[in-house]
C-alpha cells in the first residue's frame, strides 16, 4: 500500500510540486503571524509542514491546536526512534494518539465517501480508505491509519533539515544572498550541501546478516557495524575542501548513489535508501528559498549541534525573530 501511495500520489512531479507549494505557503503564513516575536524555528516549521501535508493528503486537521499536536507528535516519533528511556515512551504515546485520530478519519470517509472532496481528484486519505487487498478486502482501520502516518510523519521530519538550512543561512550570509537571487538549480544544490554538512544522524549501526568481506577486513555474521555518516560526508577523498560549505559543488549534477548517504545508500528500489529522498530534497530546496526570502534576526543563543545525539539538531532549536514586513523582499516564485 505504501509503495502504491508513493508512486501514484506523492512521487509524481505534480504531487511533489503541489506539496512544495503548500509547504511554502504554510511557512510564509506562519512567519507572517509571528512577526516581532522570538520563536523556535524548529517548532514552528514542524507546524507549517504538518499543516501542508494534511491539506495535501486530505487529512482533516483544524488549524491551531490539532495541527500543532500532530506536529509535536510526529517530531516525538522521529526523536524517539531507537532511543531507550523517556523519548521512546513519549514517541509511543504520540504514535498511538495519531493512529487513533487517523483511524477515525478513515472511518468517516468510509461512512460517507462522496462527501469529502466532491468533484475533486482522490486524496491520499481517500485512496487509503478505498484500498482493497488482492482478496478484495479493505484495509482494517489500524493498518490504514499506519499507512497514512507513514506519509505524514516523514514529511514533518523534514523540519530537521529545514532548521539546518536556517542555521547555514545564518552562518553563511553570502550563500543566503546568492540563494535569494538564484533559480531552482542552486536551491537544489543548496539542499544537497545542507544534507552533506548537517547530518540528521551522525552515524547508523547494524548487525552483519552474513559473513562478508569489506576491503581487507573480514566481517563475521552478527558483528556490530558502524557507518560513520558524518565522517563519510567529510572524507577529503570524496569531497574537495570537505569542511567548506559550498552548494556549487552540486551545481549541474546529482550526487552518486555512494556519495551522499544522508538518507541511505545505493538505489532506492534495490538498496537501503529512502524512497522519498527526492521529496525531501524538493521540499528542502523550496523551504530554503522561503527562509532566504524572509529576513530574520537570530538572537544570541547556543547554536551548537551535538554529534552524540540521534537525531541531532541545534541545541536551541534555532530561535529567530521575523521583523516588520517593510524589511522583507519576498519574490514570487
Residue with the bigger pLDDT between 63 and 59: it is 59
The DSSP element (H or E) to which 22 belongs, if any, is: helix 13-32
- What is the pLDDT, as a whole number, of residue 332? 47
User: Mean pLDDT for the chain?
Assistant: 89
CB 73 within 8 Å of CB 98: yes
- The pair phi, psi for residue 273, each rounded to 5°, is -135, 140
Residue 258: which pLDDT band, with cuts at 50, 70 and 90? confident
172 found inside a domain: yes
Q: Is the residue at 264 inside a domain?
A: no
208 within domain boundaries: no
First-to-last alpha carbon distance for the chain, in angstroms, is: 34
Highest mean pLDDT among 5-9, 201-205, 243-247: 243-247
Instruction: Tell me what pLDDT residue 118 has.
Output: 45
Q: Which of 189, 141, 193 is nearest to 167 (CA)?
A: 193
Confidence of residue 3 (pLDDT cuts 50, 70, 90): low
Say how far apart CA 288 and CA 169 lie, in whole Å: 9
Q: What is the pLDDT of residue 127?
A: 87
Residue 263 maps to a domain: no
CA distance 195 to 218: 31
The fraction of the chain above a pLDDT of 90, given in percent, is 65
Whole-number pLDDT of residue 307? 79
292 vs 3, more confident: 292
Residue 251 lies in a domain: no
Q: Grid coordinates 538498496 are at which residue?
A: 271
- 264 forms beta bridges with 262, 273
Per-residue pLDDT tens digits for 263-306: 888 776 677 778 788 899 999 999 999 999 988 999 999 999 99
Q: What is the CATH number of the domain that holds 21?
A: 1.10.630.10
Does pLDDT of 61 surpass 50?
yes
Coil, strand or helix: which one is 39? strand
- Domain membership of residue 115 (yes or no) is yes
In a domain, 232, yes or no: no
Range of the domain at 151: 2-199+274-327
Q: Would you say residue 218 lies in a domain?
A: no
Kindly provide the residue ranges of all beta strands, DSSP E only, lying in the chain, ordered along the sequence: 38-40, 204-207, 212-214, 217-219, 224-227, 319-321
Dmax (CA) for the chain in angstroms is 64
User: Helices 65-79 and 141-171 meet at what angle, rounded to 10?
Assistant: 80
How many structural domains does the chain have? 1
Q: What is the pLDDT of residue 260?
A: 93
Amino acid at each position: 500500500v505504501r509503495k502504491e501511495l508513493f508512486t501514484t500520489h506523492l512521487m509524481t512531479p505534480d504531487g511533489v510540486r503541489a506539496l512544495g507549494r503548500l509547504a511554502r505557503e504554510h511557512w510564509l503564513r506562519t512567519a507572517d503571524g509571528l512577526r516581532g516575536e522570538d520563536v523556535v524555528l524548529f517548532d514552528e516549521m514542524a507546524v507549517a509542514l504538518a499543516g501542508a501535508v494534511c491539506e495535501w493528503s486530505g487529512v482533516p486537521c483544524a488549524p491551531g491546536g490539532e495541527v500543532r499536536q500532530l506536529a509535536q507528535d510526529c517530531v516525538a516519533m522521529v526523536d524517539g526512534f531507537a532511543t531507550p528511556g523517556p523519548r521512546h515512551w513519549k514517541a509511543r504515546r504520540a504514535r498511538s494518539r495519531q493512529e487513533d485520530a487517523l483511524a477515525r478519519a478513515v472511518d468517516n470517509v468510509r461512512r460517507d465517501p462522496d462527501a469529502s472532496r466532491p468533484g475533486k481528484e482522490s486524496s491520499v486519505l481517500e485512496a487509503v480508505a478505498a484500498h482493497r487487498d488482492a482478496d478484495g478486502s479493505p484495509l482494517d482501520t489500524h493498518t490504514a491509519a499506519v499507512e497514512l502516518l507513514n506519509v505524514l510523519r516523514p514529511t514533518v521530519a523534514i523540519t530537521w533539515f529545514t532548521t539546518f538550512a536556517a542555521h547555514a543561512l545564518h552562518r553563511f550570509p553570502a550563500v543566503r544572498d546568492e540563494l535569494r537571487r538564484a533559480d531552482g538549480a542552486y536551491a537544489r544544490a543548496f539542499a544537497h550541501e545542507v544534507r552533506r554538512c548537517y547530518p540528521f544522524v551522525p552515524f547508523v549501526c547494524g548487525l552483519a546478516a552474513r559473513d562478508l568481506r569489506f576491503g581487507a577486513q573480514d566481517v563475521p555474521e552478527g558483528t556490530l557495524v558502524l557507518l560513520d555518516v558524518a565522517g563519510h560526508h567529510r572524507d577529503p577523498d570524496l569531497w574537495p575542501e570537505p569542511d567548506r560549505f559550498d552548494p556549487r559543488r552540486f551545481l549541474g549534477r546529482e550526487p552518486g548513489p555512494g556519495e551522499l548517504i544522508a538518507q541511505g545508500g545505493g538505489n532506492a528500489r534495490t538498496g537501503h535508501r529512502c524512497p522519498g529522498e527526492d521529496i525531501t530534497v524538493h521540499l528542502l530546496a523550496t523551504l530554503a528559498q522561503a527562509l532566504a526570502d524572509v529576513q530574520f534576526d537570530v538572537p544570541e543563543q547556543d547554536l551548537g549541534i551535538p554529534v552524540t545525539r540521534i537525531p541531532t539538531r541545534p541545541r536551541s532549536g534555532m530561535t529567530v525573530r521575523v521583523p516588520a514586513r517593510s524589511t522583507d523582499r519576498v519574490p514570487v516564485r
